[in-house]
Structures are given as C-alpha cells and as structure tokens.
Amino acid sequence: MKTETSKRLFDEALKCIPGGVNSPVRAMKGVGMSHPLFMSRARGAHIWDADGNELVDFVSSWGPMILGWGHPEVVGRLRAQIDLGTSFGAPTELEVELARLICDAVPSVELVRMVNSGTEATMSALRVARGFTRRDKVVKFVGCYHGHADPFLAAAGSGVLTLALPDSPGVTRATTADTILVEYNDAAALGEVFAARGAEIACVIVEPVAGNMGVVPPQPGFLEAVRRLCSDSGALLIFDEVITGFRVAWGGAQELYGVIPDMTTLGKIIGGGLPVGAFGGRADIMETVAPLGTTYQAGTLSGNPLAMAAGSATLRVLAEPGVYERLEARAQQVCQGLVAAAVGAGVPTTLNRVGAMMTLFFCEGPVTGFADAGRADTALYGRYWRHMLEHGVYLAPSQFESAMISLALTDADVALATDAAASFFEVL
C-alpha cells in the first residue's frame, strides 16, 4: 500500500510536534513502522488514510466510535448544535441530559461531574477520594493505566508498556510514594496490603476489565474481594470505566459483574467521538466537590456542548432494545474467525475478550496479568499488524491495546479480516 503522503506529513509534524504525534502509541513504533498513518476520513466501520487507502477499522478511535462513523443521530445532533454554539463556559441543558443518562445507566453513579478527558477524570476522582477519607495512600494494579497524571505513572500499561519505558521522568519520588502497587487479579496480595496498611488507604483504583496491557478479564472472585477489602477498611473503590463504560454492557463492567464501586470514571463513548471525561459516585462522596464541598475541581471547557450532544445521541442509540445483543454477536463472530485461523495453523495465541473489546496475544495462555501479557511475542504481533494492514484491516498498533468492535461492522468486514488473518498464519 502507498504511504507517501503519510510519510510527508510525518516529516512535517516532526518539525513542530514532539515525535511527530500527539499521543505516543500513534507513532506505531510498537509494530515496527517507520512512520504513522495519517487519517483523513471515515464512514461506518471504514477509515481512509491520507493516501486514500481504505481500511476496515478495529480501533474505533480507541473505543468511542461504538456506533461507527457518521451515525445519523450523532451527526444530526452535532450539526444542530454547531449552529447554536460550540462553547459557552456556562451550564447548558445538554449537560443535564447527558448527566441524567449516565446516572440512570451506571449503578454506582448518583451524581456526576463532566470533565474533558479520562486522565482528568481519574486525577479528579483520586483527589475526591483522598479528601473524603482524609487518607493519602492509593492502591493501583500493575499494568493498569489510568491516564498520565503523576500518581498513576507507576507500573502503568498502555503507551508506557508499548514503548517499554520506565516510570516517567518528571514524576517525583514524593508523588509516587503514596502509590501502592499490587498485581492485577491477585486478591491475596491485596489482602496483605490492607492487613498492613489498611488505615492509610484512601482508595483502590482498578480497571474492572484491564484494557491497557491488552484485554485481561477479572478472575472469578477478584472484584468481589477488592470490594470487600475496601468496605472493611473504609477505603473507597474506584472503577476506571473509561474504556469499559457503555462498551461491555449498558451499565459498564459494574453491571456485567455485579460489583458496585463507590466512584466511577468514564470517557470515550460518553462523548460520542469528541473529547470528554466524567467522574461520579455516591451522593455523599460527590457532595464534597466544590461548590457544594471543599474539594476543588474545575474546567473551563467542561461540559462542552458539542461533546454533550454527541454523547447523549450515542447513549440514546445504545439504550435501544437489542443493541448489546447485536454487539455481542458481532464480537463473537470476529473472535471465532481469528481463533480458528490461529489454531488451524498451530500458532500459540491467546484471545481474551469481554463484550466488544478483545486482544489476540501472541503467546500461550492464560493471560491473567501483567507478567503473562509480557510473555507475548511483540515482534510477531508487529508482523501480524503489518500483514493485516496490507490486506485492508486496521488494528491497534500495539500488542498491549484492545481491539474495539463497533456496531457498524458487517459480515463482509468480518470475512475480510478473517481471511487476512488466515493468510498470515498459513505462511508462518
């Protein structure tokens, strides 16, 4: 495939943007590319790059485009709002509409505050948890990624894992001194931490389905154990559902697994493709946030009317009967094709999936945590990624990210992806 235009744009970007990209994984170094693809347009489940290459998309803008691109309900709401105003820095009815949809859908959320990104949501939730409990320590799990706020850049996943970076320069020891690390899915180790330091722990933050070391589901009883330990010690449980919210179920992973946290962070899908984030939880916790309480959080562009309009339109479509059953069926279809291709060729792979998010690990299973994910053959994944690209399929450019299924995928799209995977495994 031709990529001359993307290469030229990347050369220009290097002159004015660090590394030529505005988010590290986009550089595509994790899959052995010398330059990233620059995208120009999309429709349904197809995306076109700057050179005109048409690709079936399994990234979905890293999750938000669950309906696919150009959905008439979303586009219609956006067009109408552009004429009315794109930003006010003041309350709008759209904020109330989206907040009500979230509170009605997500079991843990009684009050919700809109922000502009997932990082901002998790950073704010942590501050609120510390203010509410009057404690300092936060427990996070190795390989889980909660945005790039300083306290979370300790044993993080996502781009940090993809690029094999150490904990980031610029993050002081004092900042991470209050971050306690535990292996994901290791309830016994978490129990030991609480036995030793439970009175100091403000909160445990966890991706209920890890999505930033590849998809790693919670083992049976793990989330229940985390909930119990938090309740017994007075610590708050925060579910980072920036990825899983409205993707694995209407009410997120907390609905799917029946474990209710004290606070929840959201992003991606609730903006319908526009930058957005939110944090919410029990009313008594959220009432400590200014202006009701003394824990300060603010954002000039929070509740942006375009993001609120697109998010509300997206959630209203997702609330229609049968939507999640259709999404589950499509995800099963995709996974069956990929697994059959790998198994038929005798290539060691493990496919983890929860709802409409999945990862094909190039290693023998099971993959239940950070160390297991680290066994994956990233070089082989890079070969696979480049092969799929040449055959018209756009996957996440990292072994340690999730493929995102959209409702816009067709049988023909799935067949193309399955055939491309089969042709790769046949020649190994």
Q: What pTM value is reported for the model?
A: 0.95
| Other Cβ atoms within 10 Å of 379 Cβ, number | 12
Condensed to tens digits (0 to 9), the pLDDT of residues 283-308 reads 999 999 999 999 999 999 999 999 99
Read off the CATH number of the domain in which 275 is found: 3.40.640.10
Condensed to tens digits (0 to 9), the pLDDT of residues 25-72 reads 999 999 999 999 999 999 999 999 999 999 999 999 999 999 999 999
Residues 175 and 281 in one domain: yes
Residues 96 and 199 in one domain: yes
Residues 173 and 226 in one domain: yes
Q: Inform me whether the pLDDT recorded for 359 exceeds 50.
A: yes
The residue among 249, 284, 318 that closes a domain is 318
* Prior bond of 24 cis (ω within 30°): no
Q: Inform me whether the pLDDT recorded for 93 exceeds 80.
A: yes
Across 387-414, average pLDDT: 97
Angle at 212 between CA 379 and CA 178, to 5 degrees: 125
Residues 62 and 88 in one domain: no
Across 407-426, average pLDDT: 97
DSSP bridge partners of 44: 69
Structural domain including 368 reads 4-70+322-426
Q: Inform me whether the pLDDT recorded for 163 exceeds 80.
A: no
Q: Whole-number mean pLDDT of the chain?
A: 94
Question: What is the percent of the chain where pLDDT is above 70?
Answer: 96
The residue among 291, 318, 345 that closes a domain is 318
Residues 115 and 243 in one domain: yes
Condensed to tens digits (0 to 9), the pLDDT of residues 137-162 reads 999 999 999 998 888 876 554 444 44
| Other Cβ atoms within 10 Å of 388 Cβ, number | 22
31 φ, ψ to 5°?
-120, 20
Across 340-365, average pLDDT: 95
Residues 24 and 122 in one domain: no
Domain count, the chain: 2
Residues 377 and 401 in one domain: yes
Residues 346 and 357 in one domain: yes
User: What's the pLDDT score for residue 177?
Assistant: 82
Residues 279 and 334 in one domain: no
Across 102-117, average pLDDT: 98
Read off the CATH number of the domain in which 350 is found: 3.90.1150.10
Quick one: how far is CA 272 from the chain centroid? 14
Residues 85 and 51 in one domain: no
Residues 103 and 251 in one domain: yes
The residue among 289, 318, 347 that closes a domain is 318
Q: Inform me whether the pLDDT recorded for 165 exceeds 50.
A: no
Residues 159 and 273 in one domain: yes
Tokens 């890890």 locate to 210
Question: Do β-strands 39-43 and 111-115 pair in parallel, antiparallel, or remain unpaired?
Answer: unpaired
CB contact at 8 A, 211 and 402: yes
User: What's the pLDDT score for residue 73?
Assistant: 98
User: What's the pLDDT score for residue 155?
Assistant: 57
Q: Strand, coil or helix: what is 161?
A: helix
Residue 92 to residues 75, 80, 86, 154, 240, Cα–Cα distance (Å): 19, 15, 11, 38, 26
Q: Inform me whether the pLDDT recorded for 273 exceeds 70.
A: yes
Catalytic residues: 145, 240, 268
